[in-house]
Amino acid sequence: MMMTGLVAVLVGYASSVAIILQALDVAGLDAAQTGGWLMMLGIGMGVTTIGLSLWYKMPVLTAWSTPGIALLVTSLSGVTINEAVGVFIFASGLMFLCGVTGIFARLMNYIPRALASAMLAGILLRFGLTAFGALDTSFVLCAAMIAAYVVMRRIFPLYAIIAALITGITVTGLSGDLHFVRAGNVFALPEFVMPSFTLTSLISVGIPFFIVSLASQNAPGIAILQANGYPPHTSVLLTCSSLAAILLAPWGGFSICIAAITAAICMAPDVHPDPARRYTAAVWAGIFYLLAGIFGGAVFMLFNAFPVVLIQILAGLALLTTLMNSLHQSLADEKGRDAAIICFLLTASGITLLGISSAFWGLLAGIVVHQIMAIRRG
């Protein structure tokens, strides 16, 4: 359980922290401010993850909106830091309204479970392909980690990812590819930033940030809960996560949403045979979120020491069982296979239309096809 939580946080941070640093640089933050903002993100995600997981006894993880942050990289240029905080509060406020009014929950109720599974499989496929594609560039590391994973899956399945991680660190260390660099201050105190609301920034940045975060982060996060058989409590989860973001935005916690990929790691059958016990892995993830926030400098020194390919392989292997289960669930019902396969392929394509990721478009296309097929059968 503890190691699964660690892997989830490791994958979450390592897969997108570079984008966050780039967005904060565009926003004009210096090194001290950046450290403070990262601290508040870790604390915000840690508290909400632990609280929601313990309250509902299911693996609920929160995370920053990676698609939303990618949007900020290209949108924050020319926006002051005070205006940026205003944008974050505005976008989180809109998500809070969607949660309180139940609008988002009603929309998510229209999604069949098979389509949620198909979308999840489409998201995870890229991680699997990237992991095994590493055989082309880092054969020894990739082959060793895969071998350790497969052997341990046969003997002690619960420790397969631990074996892969230890093997990866060992191979990387022996090859001299671990590079520890001193990371300045281990602690970074957040600074309060007074928000400023301007019509131009709210329209040009705030509304797109809200749409992308809701459609490309929160929707997949809720769908993953549904795909794994957990009652999503959509309105409460969206309300709590967005409220946390509103309160923490002036201090740097600018984006707190429902997690998708990292949550899937904590929902895998290998975590615990009983789905009702898997929330413990999410609680551990929340604890590691808190540690990552408090000890920001040390954490980033650790992340920078690992080569990117090691994290990519680890992520792909950690998500294999979830990918297998998602594919099985999405295609189990013969009547829904047309919609499921279209949803899967469109999601896996990785396209971005109107600034919104393929997960949203795959889900939308799947719903349309599902309705068309239902009319035909009727």
Count of the separate structural domains present in the chain: 1
pLDDT at 162: 81
Which residues lie below 8 Å from residue 302, measured CB to CB, with a gap of 6+?
Answer: none
Alpha carbon distance 69, 355 (integer Å) = 12
Q: Is residue 184 part of a domain?
A: yes
Q: Which of 2, 311, 259, 11 is nearest to 120 (CA)?
A: 259
Give the pLDDT of residue 289.
94
Per-residue pLDDT of the chain (378 residues; tens, 9 = 90+): 788 898 888 878 866 676 676 677 777 887 678 778 888 999 999 999 999 999 999 999 999 987 778 778 767 878 889 999 999 999 999 999 999 999 888 877 777 878 878 887 887 888 889 899 999 999 999 999 999 999 998 998 767 888 888 899 999 999 988 876 655 566 777 889 999 999 988 988 888 788 778 877 898 899 889 888 898 788 999 999 999 999 999 998 888 999 987 888 899 887 888 999 999 999 999 999 999 888 866 666 666 678 878 878 887 888 788 788 889 888 988 888 999 999 999 989 988 787 776 877 888 899 899 999 888 665
- Residue 149 is predicted with a pLDDT of 93
Residue 141 lies in a domain: no
pLDDT of residue 10: 80
Measured CA to CA, the distance from residue 244 to residue 140 in angstroms comes to: 44
Q: Residue 128 falls within a domain, yes or no?
A: yes
Torsion angle defined by CA atoms of residues 251, 199, 72 and 84, in that order, rounded to the nearest 10 degrees: -20
315 located within any domain: no
Determine the 3-state secondary structure of 357 from DSSP: strand
> Does a structural domain hold residue 164?
no
- Give the per-residue pLDDT at 362: 87
**How high is the pLDDT of residue 217?**
85
Residue 171 lies in a domain: no
Q: Full-prediction pTM beyond 0.85?
A: no
Residue at 139 is within a domain: no
Q: Which amino acid is at 293?
A: G
**Inside any domain, residue 44:** yes
Helix (H) / strand (E) containing 258: strand 257-258
What is the domain range of residue 350? 2-133+178-308+321-377
**C-alpha distances in Å from residue 40, one per residue of 14, 24, 190, 249, 251:** 17, 14, 7, 9, 7
